[in-house]
Amino acid sequence: MKTRKWLLLVMSVILVTVLAACGGKNGNNSTGGADNGAAGGGSTNAGGQTGDTGGAQELKGHLVIWTFFDQVKDMADQFHAKNPGVTIDVKLFPGDQYQTKLLTALQSGRDVPDIFDLERGYIGKFINSKFLTDLSAMGGDDLVKDYIPYVKELGYSEDGKLRAVSDHSSPGGFWYLRDVAKKYLGTDDPKKIGDMVNSWDKIIDLGKNVAAESGGKEHLIQNAGDLFDIEAYNTQPWVKDGKLNIDPKWKTIYETQLKIRQNNVDAKLPFMSAGWGNALNDGSVVLTSMPAWAGFMVDNKDNKANGKYGVAATPEGFYEGGTYRGIYDKSPNKALAYEFIKYIAGVEWQQHNLEKTGNMPGNAKVYENNLTTFKSPLFGDENILVPYYNTVKNIPPLKADKYGEDILSKWRTVAGDGITNNKSFDDVVAAFKKEVKNAFPELNVD
Amino acid sequence: MNRSYYGYFFVAPFFIGFAVFGLAPILYTLYLSFMKWDGFSDPVFVGVANYTRLLHDSFFYQTIWNTLIIWVFSNTPQLITALLLALVLNEKFIRGKHFFRAVYFFPHIITPVTLGVIFALMFDWQTGSINKILLALGIVQDPVNWFNSAWWSRIIASGVIAWQYFGFNMIVFIAGLQSIPSEVYEAAEVDGATKTQTALHITLPLLRPVFLFVFITSVIGGLQLFDAPLILGDGPNNTGRTMVMYLYETAFKNFDYSYGAAVAYGIFIVVMFFTAITARASKLRE
């Protein structure tokens, strides 16, 4: 009998421990809730404040930010330095599972952040959802009034409400090693090189010369596929009124890509592949189309690459990527979270970010303030903001939609296969339509 | 005194765990497969629409075919190598057999994603070491675009899997070989049986239960191929895309959770079908 009691006691303890462990998340939630409650107090405080961040009335509270991007920690530190009463918990989820994790949390409504990051690749899925607060109603339109048009527009939902803000733009350009450019193009001047490559016809002619001079071993550009990225947002949206829309411009682009491949203009190295990285660093490819944020791909150990690169404009302005930040609609800390958004949309943070990381600003004022003064170690004396600013301000402002990025990705795959295997445009379109119809049966694909 | 109910306490943690992390997701997936849900709005009941769509989905049929091909190409060399090595490393006179068993088992402890990355880099069209070696030896004149070929991309995926699992199967075969009583071999030796006769008429028939285990687990595992092929890519015209890759792309890339759930049940039926065939075929031989 004694044994039986002991066994029952031990089993009960085990079960209670297991159940308590399973419920751990719940427990954290409760704590989170308590924190949020405290922050709620802070938000009331913040809500009462009308001045600029760090103004007369001190902000207090606690914010939770979810991101996939480690530089958000610096953002939080800078905000905290200005507002010591606000503590920020940055939860970093690197990798491509972030969006699934975020969506799952938002769906369940448990353990959710006050602010969360959204990448350009999937912002279109979230921007019209019920999860993002209407920032326009909080005065957000004023925050982005000086913004680069395309950066601003991507934060708006279909109903014209601002729901997310980015603190940067991500323009692209042709990066090149100056000595390699001098060897093959006869100059390392970014303006002159920009003029030499301001059309795809010129690029093909120039590329033929590079291939001929190097005995076919070196190439002008990395990949015909770069055109997908350069032209991606210079074409009409992929879906219009529930119908697949293939901009006729894609035919011209595809034919240009075929010519590039057939004339050995490109090195056939996919973006961000190992070979692509090597070519960027050793100059075996003359021009690499690069987003401004990808400087980490350059091997600059002991500053050996400083001053060795130049950046020239591409035939059409492009951008790649971008991180947006929105406030969870059911957050009890909306007002405080808004102060954070206000801070990152402002000149002070973006100036700091430009100087520290070289990330291009989203606010046009920051561009203009630094056009003739900002230098980046990699690019020596070049005023790199000049080509980037000319690029970004002319990028067509388009809203993000649910399908755009996924359909572009399908086009990139199918058309990329077509270029490799020298297929006709009609064959590529037929295969592409089949893919789109399969993935999105609700769309009208004729 | 009846103490039989104590057992329930001991098995309870497993069943609680299974109910929460196994059964509930399985049932929830079934529920989702009758809905339309993209994760952003509330699920809407659509009846069997997802299953009807699945029945007409040529991309899904293509993934079944791809998976079977990759499975055959990976399993055949994998099991033959595993069996031969097991037979050799089970011999008493082989020196350092424990070392070799460990070495052959090593690929199994590497994650499939890592193996996928290694093979992807090795077979890269422009910069891969395989092409560089072939060019240096003069075997090819131009780099081979491996992943632009349906068959090569499938064979490379199969190679990754065969390389990863042959050591594991070898260990299973060795365990099976060691369970055969030595008396049987001694009797054969007394009767004057040759090594080949012993292998064909004693070892292989007595290994049948092990074969069956290895074969059925490889059918179930092989039809759920995912990680390594995912890293190697879809191949030209999706010829390298497996069933589970399709499920992943549908549910977690296109955010079509409900159709992804139907695909998951479709995969379940396919796996059950081939497992049943395997089990049935093995019974027929009895």
What residues in A contact B20, CB-CB < 8 Å? 22
- Which residue is closest to B8 within chain A, CA to CA? A11
pLDDT at B3: 65
Using the predicted structure, report yes or no on whether residue A410 has a pLDDT greater than 90.
Answer: yes
Side-chain half-sphere CA neighbours of B225 within 13 A? 37
Using the predicted structure, report yes or no on whether residue A207 has a pLDDT greater than 90.
Answer: yes
Q: Which of A18, A417, A440 sits opposite B16 (nearest CB)?
A: A18
**Tokens describing residue B255:** 């955010």
What residues in A contact B58, CB-CB < 8 Å? 438
Which amino acid, one-letter code, is at B55? Answer: L
Using the predicted structure, report yes or no on whether residue A55 has a pLDDT greater than 50.
Answer: no
Using the predicted structure, report yes or no on whether residue A34 has a pLDDT greater than 70.
Answer: no
What residues in A contact B254, CB-CB < 8 Å? 406, 439-440
**Tokens describing residue A132:** 């993002």
Q: Which of A67-71, A121-125, A325-329 has the highest mean pLDDT?
A: A325-329
Nearest to B247 by CA among B216, B219, B223: B223
A370: part of which helix (H) or strand (E)? Answer: helix A364-370
Chain B residues interacting with chain A (CB cutoff of 8 angstroms): 3, 6, 9-10, 12-13, 16, 20, 38-41, 53, 57-59, 121, 124-127, 145, 148, 234, 236-237, 250, 252-256
Q: Please provide the average confidence, as pLDDT, over all residues in chain B.
A: 92
**Could B39 and A103 be called an inter-chain contact, meaning their C-beta atoms sit closer than 8 Å?**
yes
pLDDT at A362: 97
Q: Please provide the average confidence, as pLDDT, over all residues in chain A.
A: 88
Residue A327, min C-alpha distance to chain B (Å)? 16
The ipTM is 0.85
Three-class SS state of A288:
strand
Q: Which of B3, B16, B121 sits opposite A274 (nearest CB)?
A: B121
Nearest to A323 by CA among A115, A145, A161, A129: A115
Nearest to A111 by CA among A46, A47, A23, A43: A23
Alpha helix positions (H), A23-148: 24-47, 72-82, 98-108, 120-126, 140-143
Strand partners, A116: A66, A326
- Which residue is closest to B247 within chain A, CA to CA? A439
**Could B16 and A278 be called an inter-chain contact, meaning their C-beta atoms sit closer than 8 Å?**
no
Which residue has tokens 């102060």? A339
Taking CA atoms, A367 is separated from A153, A234, A342, A389, A391, in Å, by 18, 22, 18, 7, 12
Q: Which of A125, A406, A438 sits opposite B59 (nearest CB)?
A: A438
DSSP string, B188-252: HHHTT--HHHHIIIIIHHHTHHHHHHHHHHHHHHHTT--HHHHHH---GGGTT--HHHHHHIIII
Which amino acid, one-letter code, is at B68? Answer: L
- In which band, very low, low, confident or very high, does the pLDDT at A20 lie, cut at 50, 70 and 90? very low
pLDDT at A25: 39
Residue B158, min C-alpha distance to chain A (Å)? 22
Residue B165, min C-alpha distance to chain A (Å)? 27
Distance CA A161, CA A138 (A): 11
Distance CA B97, CA B87 (A): 11
Q: What is the dihedral of CA A126, A134, B35, A93, to 10 degrees?
A: 40
Q: Which residues contact B16 (CB under 8 A, 6 or more apart)?
A: A18
Using the predicted structure, report yes or no on whether residue A431 has a pLDDT greater than 90.
Answer: yes
Q: Which residues contact B139 (CB under 8 A, 6 or more apart)?
A: none
Record the pTM: 0.85
Three-class SS state of A70:
coil
Distance CA A193, CA A182 (A): 10
Q: Which of A100, A130, A420 sits opposite B252 (nearest CB)?
A: A100
- The average pLDDT across B127-148 equals 94
Nearest to A333 by CA among A50, A35, A100: A35
Taking CA atoms, B58 is separated from A408, A437, B46, B63, B252, in Å, by 22, 11, 21, 9, 20
Distance CA A149, CA A167 (A): 13
Taking CA atoms, A341 is separated from A164, A331, A436, in Å, by 9, 14, 36
Classify the phi-psi angles of A422: left when phi > 0, otherwise alpha if psi is within -120 to 50, otherwise beta: left
Give the CA radius of gyration of chain A: 25
Residue B231, min C-alpha distance to chain A (Å)? 13
**Could B256 and A11 be called an inter-chain contact, meaning their C-beta atoms sit closer than 8 Å?**
no
**Could B3 and A4 be called an inter-chain contact, meaning their C-beta atoms sit closer than 8 Å?**
yes
- Model confidence pLDDT, tens digit, residues B32-67: 999 999 988 889 999 999 999 999 999 999 999 999
Using the predicted structure, report yes or no on whether residue B177 has a pLDDT greater than 70.
Answer: yes
- Which residue is closest to B145 within chain A, CA to CA? A420
Distance CA A317, CA A148 (A): 13
DSSP string, A104-124: HHHHHTSS--SEEEEEHHHHH
Contact A421, A224 (CB under 8 A): no
What residues in B contact A430, CB-CB < 8 Å? none
- The average pLDDT across A7-32 equals 46
Using the predicted structure, report yes or no on whether residue B173 has a pLDDT greater than 60.
Answer: yes
What residues in B contact A326, CB-CB < 8 Å? none
Q: A interface mutation test: which of B126, B241, B263 has the most A CBs within 10 A?
A: B126
- The average pLDDT across B248-263 equals 93
**Could A103 and B40 be called an inter-chain contact, meaning their C-beta atoms sit closer than 8 Å?**
yes
pLDDT at A336: 97
What residues in A contact B121, CB-CB < 8 Å? 274
Which residue has tokens 């602010």? A115
Straight-line distance from the first to the last Cα atom of chain B, in angstroms, rounded to the nearest whole number = 45
Using the predicted structure, report yes or no on whether residue B188 has a pLDDT greater than 70.
Answer: yes
What residues in B contact A11, CB-CB < 8 Å? 9-10, 12
Residue B251, min C-alpha distance to chain A (Å)? 10
Residues found in chain A:
446
What residues in B contact A4, CB-CB < 8 Å? 3
**Could A275 and B6 be called an inter-chain contact, meaning their C-beta atoms sit closer than 8 Å?**
no
Using the predicted structure, report yes or no on whether residue A71 has a pLDDT greater than 80.
Answer: yes
Q: What share of chain A is helix, strand, coil (3-state, %, to 5)?
A: 50, 15, 35
